[in-house]
Homo-oligomer: A and B are copies of this chain.
Amino acid sequence: MSTLTRNKTSFGIFALLLFILPAAESQARDQNQKPNIVVIYGDDLGYGDLGCFGHPTIRTPNLDRMAAEGMKWTQFYSAAPVCTPSRAALNTGRLPIRNGMCSSKRRVLFPNSGGGIPASEITLAEALKDCGYKTACVGKWHLGHLPQFLPTSNGYDSYFGIPYSNDMDRVADTPRGRGVFWDPKVEYWNVPLMRNEKIIERPAIQHTITKRYTEEAVKFIKDNQSGPFFLYFPQTMPHVPLFRSKKFREVSTRGLYGDIIEEIDWSVGQVLETLRDLKLDKNTIVWFSSDNGPWLIFKEQGGSAGLLRDGKGSTWEGGMREPTVAWWPGTIPAGTVTQELGSTMDIFTTSIKLAGGTVPTDRTIDGVDLTPVLKGTGKSPRDDMFYYRGTKLMAVRKGNWKVHFITQPAYGGGGPKKQNPPELYHLGIDPSEKYNVAEKHPEVIAEITKLAEEHKNSFTPPPSQLEIPLKK
């Protein structure tokens, strides 16, 4: 086996093992059949929190197996370091700055927000519905809780989940401050659980929420096994406050946070097992990723970005690089690790291409088609990443170089600091962003500065949806 492959993608033994699996296992399916698409999304999951991404005390056998049977992406990004803009980008294939889903004043939507994803946006669900897909959203939405913004108004046939984060909508007499997050035995939260447009439970009983989401996801797959279907499955966990079901109480040496991740791992396992049982595995692509980095201020109850710098809220790598796995037995070479660049926005474009649809041409789409990487036939068309904090372009990556024009820790450490000259890091050699090499490579900074300016001058951001108040 060669250790050197052109595009820094290594193929393991599993590709071989796959070929020797009994032929009886193979499924006679129409080559032209549209693949089912499943996107499972963590909430505040850290880059370093899975076994296959190096965590020493969190066990994720199902995700490890998913990676071993599929492709592990070590340089895959969300489009924002916080929830609402990140999810808007995944659902539209566009940077949040292009669709109003970010702001310089509020970082995400709140229960007192009156805005949400604009009707003019084409969501992945809408695009796939046009291709004949059945669609469902199971989990946390956070793109607007008014009826016109809910999943069922945005291309999803059905919806089961919470409309915003699980720490929002506190009950009236809740104590203030972060202290209230820490005790999962006490329920201070009044976040509703919805089915389609209706609130069916309030407060949502969060102890069983991962379990119930999973049952709902499995049911959707079973009900739609004739396909094609699109399941968007954004988990509520491991966003604080952390809740786990009885079965996962004190199972992990990593403590409460570990229990939560092991339950998510179980959930992923249930989805994959259902696909295998229904013999849909060879015709379904499953993505696992997350919306942003770990919420470090919650200490033991927040995750770990591994060797990456900082976490949720920051445009250092820990805030936006996600532990990502793509799985599609028979199509994605098993046991592959790729360093190619990818973004959750690319899931939008790649999915539409795989479904035989047309990527919108009347607007700028930031996603690219990752199919060549997935199939092991070519490189990623993506060579850059724009790192926004709210409406501010903080940093730009091109190739292995990342320039920080403005730096700011996720929390504390004062406000934004304009860097002159900008800071420069080589993310290949220095993935932890420890060694600023700006002085050695002014030409790289000049090139990326030009790219950033061109980018900023190429469009006018629309008004922010996050600043619209709720009308009483």
Interface residues of A (CB under 8 A from B): 1, 3-4, 8, 10-14, 17, 20-22, 48, 51-57, 59, 61-62, 64-65, 68-69, 74-75, 251-255, 257-258, 262, 265-266, 269, 299-300, 304, 306-307, 321, 335, 337, 339, 400, 426-432, 434-435
Contact = CB atoms under 8 A, between A and B. Distances in A.
Max count, chain B CB within 10 A of own CB: residue among A14, A61, A252: A61
B300 A3 contact: no
Contact of A339 (B3, B56, B307): B56
B48 A307 contact: yes
A300 B17 contact: no
B335 A68 contact: yes
A8 B61 CA distance: 11
Given A4-B251, A339-B56, A68 B13 contact: yes
A378 B300 CA distance: 29
B432 A304 contact: yes
Contact of A3 (B59, B68, B254, B430): B59
Contacts of A54: 48, 53-55, 306-307
B74 A300 contact: no
Given A12-B64, A299-B434, A299-B435, A1 B429 contact: no
> Which 5 A-B residue pairs are closest in the complex by CB-CB distance?
A54-B54, A253-B428, A56-B74, A255-B429, A10-B61
13 contacts: A8-B59, A11-B61, A12-B64, A13-B65, A13-B69, A20-B21, A57-B74, A57-B431, A68-B335, A299-B434, A304-B307, A304-B431, A307-B307
A21 B14 CA distance: 12
The copy count of this chain in the complex is 2
A55 B266 contact: no
A1 B61 CA distance: 9
Contacts of A428: 57, 252-255, 258
A439 to B, nearest CB: 15
A252 B69 CA distance: 24
B266 A48 contact: no
A337 B57 CA distance: 10
B400 A253 contact: yes
B306 A48 contact: yes
Contacts of A1: 61-62, 65, 269
A256 to B, nearest CB: 8
Nearest to A10: B61
A385 to B, nearest CB: 14
Given A12-B68, A253-B400, A59 B337 contact: yes
A61 B300 CA distance: 32
A13 B334 CA distance: 12
Nearest to A46: B307
A25 to B, nearest CB: 10
Nearest to A69: B13
A68 B253 contact: no
